[in-house]
Each structure stands twice: as C-alpha cells, then as structure tokens.
Amino acid sequence: MTQKIYMAGPSITEHEIKTVADAMINGWYENAYDYVEKFEREFAAHHDRKFALMTPNCTAALHLTLMGLGIKTGDEVILPDCTWIASAAPITYTGAKPVLGDIDPVNWCLSPKSILQKITPATKAVIMVDLYGNMPDYDQILRIAQERNLHLIEDAAESLGSTYKGVRAGKFGIASVFSFHRTKTLTTGEGGMLLTDSEELFKRCKFLRDHGRKEGEMYFNTEVAYKYMPFNVQAALGYAQFQRIDELVGKKRQILSWYQKYLNGIKDICLNPEPDGGVNGVWCTTLVWGNRYQLHKKEFIKKMDTFGFAIRPFFYPLSSMPAFTKWAGESAKTNTNAYDISDRGVNLPSALNIEEAQVKSLCEAIKKILSHL
C-alpha cells in the first residue's frame, strides 16, 4: 500500500528545519525581525514590487490593504462569485459591501464584462482572484480599473509562480496579497504577505499593522488600529521555502502534467488552462467536465469515494451559501458561469508529496466514471 493521497500539503526539508532552528536560537533581541525583513525584501524583489509586509495570514493582508485604501461603510467592492471566502470576508470587516461578479468560462476568474455590469457610483475597488493558479485577462482589467478610477487588488493566494504575458502574479494592481497557509504552495503554517509599489499605501498599512504607533515615540498611539504582526520563526520557515520556490512551483506544474498525461483522450474535459505566453503555477489541479456528462460534482465526488479517493468540490459560488445571503442579490441569476462551472468541477489531489503512480490511479478512476456516461 502506497502512502495516503492528500489534497494539499507542504514539502519540508532539512533546509527549512535548519533555518527555523537558526531563528529559534538567534532570532531574538536585535535580531527579532531579521527573517521577517529578509523575507519581505526578497519576496518583494522577486515579484518586482517595491514594498512588502508579512502578516499572520492572507485574510489579514487583504483586510490591511482595504483599510489602507480607506474602504469603508457605504463602499462597494467587486470580486468573483467563485473563490475562497477569505477573498470576500475582509470586505465585510470594513463595513463595505461585497459585490459578486461572474467568472470567465475559460480561466474561471472574474470576467471584465461582469465588472463593467456591476460597477455603481459606490464601487471603490475590484479584487481579482487568480483562481487555482489561473490568470484572468489583466490587460482588459487594468484598463477598466484605470478608466473607472477603481483600486485594483490582486488576490494571488493561489497563483505563486504564475505569470501573465511574462509578468509574475503579484505584480497587478495597487497591491497584491499572498497566503502561506499550510495548504498553499509556499507555507509558513499560517502566514500571508502584502505587496505594493505605493509608498503611501505601504506606510499606512505598516502603521495599521502594529497598533497605530507613532514613529519615534514609545507607547504613543495616534489611532486605534490592528495587531497583524508576523513572527520571526514563521518568517524563517517562509524564507527557507522561498529559497526553494522554483522546485515547489515545479512540482505543482509536474502534478498538472501527470493529470494531463493520464486523462489524455477523455472528451470534453478541461484542466487549469495555460494560455500562450503565460505560466500556470497550479496551486491545485482542477477538473471541469462538459455539460454533455450531465454530472453534478457531488455525484462525481460520491463515485470517486467508492474507488477510495477523497476529492473536493470546485468552490461554491459565495452567493449560494448562507454566509452571503445578505449580499447575494440577483447573483444566482446574473452569474450563470459561476453556477454552471462550479456544479461540474472538482479539485484534484495536489499535495506536494503526491507521486505519479497515485495520480495515475486517480485518473483511472476518473476515466471509469466519465466513460460510463
């Protein structure tokens, strides 16, 4: 019996263990933030950004960004209906209204057309999510944001290693956010990062990250703010993982290539797309099958379970869940792609310890299910 198959999980080596041990031993007193600063500096440079702030998680990074931009009650922020709740929850923390837009049928990210349909005089920002590593049509989106004077924020939690026309995910909009949750490609267990090129936004977010302290004066606060500071040991783990970034992203891409190989020949299915001139970092390999199969994801998951494989659904549209009833409005009617694609998609096991033989056996089960329909 080979080892268990996991949806997501990290690759931790001797290098990470040694780096964390170094932080444990030496990262105190004047070195209390040495790994935080090194990780922030190099992670920003890698993404061609000027400034970085590490946070306890990506949700906090997004909350900081929104607050830093002055998003408040009465404002509206457009984001895709299909994403993890963490893209949307911080909008509600500020009192602003999340407005859920439809997704593109090919890249599964928020569509430019839907943004245009959802803009109102109250719209202040758009949060783009690079879903499962896929990149949206940033040329059009940047143009819309500029023309309509909207802040563009990139939720790059799932797109470490992806590029769009040669530009790395994390470089789009006024700010971008990353997640280092234990399920993400690069992990610190819990952790996140905010990147920006705006010195003004950076300074404001840095101030809000640590209780609104007045610079140069001890224990003197000018506003009530937040406590979203990172821990040096957590940053040491992130820094060590970051030094292996090509290997980690390479493995994610290899996992997708195994699924492509063993699912080859099945009609009318698609996996994470990789348009010409782009790279997909493939945080998670995701399968969407065509309408011809008349198959709901819940049915598919049940069938996979009979083969002994636990897989997960494509993200539900946020507007379909009780948590978002208050903000759902007409979304179920307007976001037809989100509802349609989510119903016939699943996330396939993509943990960094998965082996080719395991992907092969998963694909054999998938083939059996789809060929019976």
Ligand X SMILES: *Cc1c(COP(=O)(O)O)cnc(C)c1O
Which alpha helices (H) appear in 162-296, and where do they start and end? Answer: 199-209, 232-242, 245-263
Smallest separation, CB 36 to ligand X (Å):
16
Lookup: tokens for 126: 């758009």
231 binds ligand X (CB under 6 A): no
User: Nearest Cα to 349, choosing from 300, 274, 283, 268?
Assistant: 283
343 binds ligand X (CB under 6 A): no
The count of other CB atoms within 10 Å of the CB of residue 361 is 17
252 binds ligand X (CB under 6 A): no
Angle between helices 232-242 and 14-26 (to 10 degrees): 150
Residues paired with residue 98 on neighbouring β-strands, in sequence order: 77
Smallest separation, CB 265 to ligand X (Å):
31
129, 195, 208, 236: which one contacts ligand X (CB under 6 A)?
129
Nearer to ligand X, 180 or 262 (CB): 180
Angle between helices 14-26 and 34-46 (to 10 degrees): 140
Task: For residue 158, count CB atoms less than 10 angstroms from its CB and return exposed for 0-12, middle for 13-18, buried for 19 or more.
Answer: buried
240 binds ligand X (CB under 6 A): no
3-state secondary structure (DSSP) of residue 15? helix
35, 84, 258, 324: which one contacts ligand X (CB under 6 A)?
84
Nearer to ligand X, 135 or 263 (CB): 135
The Cα–Cα gap between 164 and 138 comes to 8
91, 164, 174, 321, 330 from 85: Cα distances, Å: 11, 24, 21, 10, 19
Smallest separation, CB 182 to ligand X (Å):
9
87 binds ligand X (CB under 6 A): yes
44 binds ligand X (CB under 6 A): no
- Residue appearing with tokens 């694909």: 363
179, 196, 286, 335: which one contacts ligand X (CB under 6 A)?
179
The Cα–Cα gap between 95 and 75 comes to 8
Smallest separation, CB 93 to ligand X (Å):
12
Nearer to ligand X, 75 or 158 (CB): 158
135 binds ligand X (CB under 6 A): no
176 binds ligand X (CB under 6 A): no
Which alpha helices (H) appear in 149-215, and where do they start and end? Answer: 199-209
86 binds ligand X (CB under 6 A): yes
Nearer to ligand X, 83 or 319 (CB): 83
Number of chain residues interacting with ligand X (CB under 6 A): 14
99 binds ligand X (CB under 6 A): no
98 binds ligand X (CB under 6 A): no
Smallest separation, CB 119 to ligand X (Å):
22
Applying CB under 6 A, the span of 26-34, 51-59, 234-242, 298-306 interacting with ligand X comes to: 51-59
Nearer to ligand X, 337 or 358 (CB): 337
The set of long-range contacts for 141-150, using a CB threshold of 8 Å and a minimum separation of 24, is 141/110, 141/112, 141/115, 141/172, 142/172, 142/173, 144/112, 144/115, 144/116, 145/173, 148/119, 148/123, 150/78, 150/119, 150/123, 150/124, 150/125, 150/126
- The mark string for 143-162 relative to ligand X (x by CB under 6 A, - otherwise) is ------------x-xx----
Lookup: tokens for 171: 């470089």
Lookup: tokens for 170: 């994390």
Rg of the chain taking only CA atoms, in angstroms: 21
Smallest separation, CB 81 to ligand X (Å):
13
The Cα–Cα gap between 171 and 169 comes to 6
Applying CB under 6 A, the span of 56-64, 133-141, 233-241, 345-353 interacting with ligand X comes to: 56-64
57 binds ligand X (CB under 6 A): yes
Smallest separation, CB 83 to ligand X (Å):
5
347 binds ligand X (CB under 6 A): no
Smallest separation, CB 302 to ligand X (Å):
25
195 binds ligand X (CB under 6 A): no
The Cα–Cα gap between 151 and 158 comes to 20
Q: Which residues bind ligand X (CB under 6 A)?
A: 57-59, 83-84, 86-87, 129, 155, 157-158, 179, 181, 192
